A = this chain, B = another copy of it.
Amino acid sequence: MPYKISLIGAGNLGWNLAHAMSRHGQHVQQVISRNRAHAQELALQINASFSDRVEELDPSSDVILLCVKDEVISELASRLNLNRQLLAHCSGSTGMDVLSKSSYRYGVFYPVQTFSKQKLRDSMEVPICVEGSGKEAEDELFTLADSISNKVYRINSSQRLHLHLAAVFANNFSNYLYAIARKIADESHLPFEILKPLIMQTAQNVQDSEPLHVQTGPARRHDQKTIQKQLELLQDKPELKALYELISEMIKNEFPR
What are 19 contact pairs spanning A and B, CB under 8 A?
Answer: A70-B223, A93-B218, A113-B201, A151-B197, A166-B185, A170-B181, A171-B201, A172-B215, A172-B251, A174-B174, A174-B177, A174-B203, A175-B216, A176-B247, A182-B206, A199-B203, A203-B204, A243-B247, A246-B246
Expressed in whole angstroms, the Cα–Cα distance for A217 and B179 within the complex equals 14
Contact between A114 and B71, CB atoms less than 8 A apart: no
Is A211 an interface position by the 8 A CB rule?
Answer: yes
Q: Chain B contacts of A163 at CB under 8 A?
A: 184-185, 188, 190, 194-195
Q: Chain B contacts of A212 at CB under 8 A?
A: 179, 182
Contact between A168 and B217, CB atoms less than 8 A apart: yes
Contact between A211 and B169, CB atoms less than 8 A apart: no
A113, A169, A244, A246 pick with most chain B CB within 10 angstroms = A169
Q: Chain B contacts of A126 at CB under 8 A?
A: 197
Contact between B202 and A114, CB atoms less than 8 A apart: yes
- State the copy count for this chain: 2
Choose among B158, B162, B171, B177 the residue that contacts A198 (Cβ–Cβ < 8 A).
Answer: B171
Expressed in whole angstroms, the Cα–Cα distance for A136 and B51 within the complex equals 70
Binding site for B on A (CB under 8 A): 70-71, 93, 112-114, 125-127, 129, 151, 153, 155, 158-159, 161-182, 184-185, 187-191, 193-207, 210-212, 214-220, 223, 225-226, 229-230, 233-234, 239, 242-244, 246-247, 249-251, 253-254
Expressed in whole angstroms, the Cα–Cα distance for A247 and B172 within the complex equals 10
Expressed in whole angstroms, the Cα–Cα distance for A250 and B254 within the complex equals 24
Contact between A202 and B175, CB atoms less than 8 A apart: yes
Known: A93-B218, A205-B114, A226-B93. A177 touches B173 (CB 8 A): yes
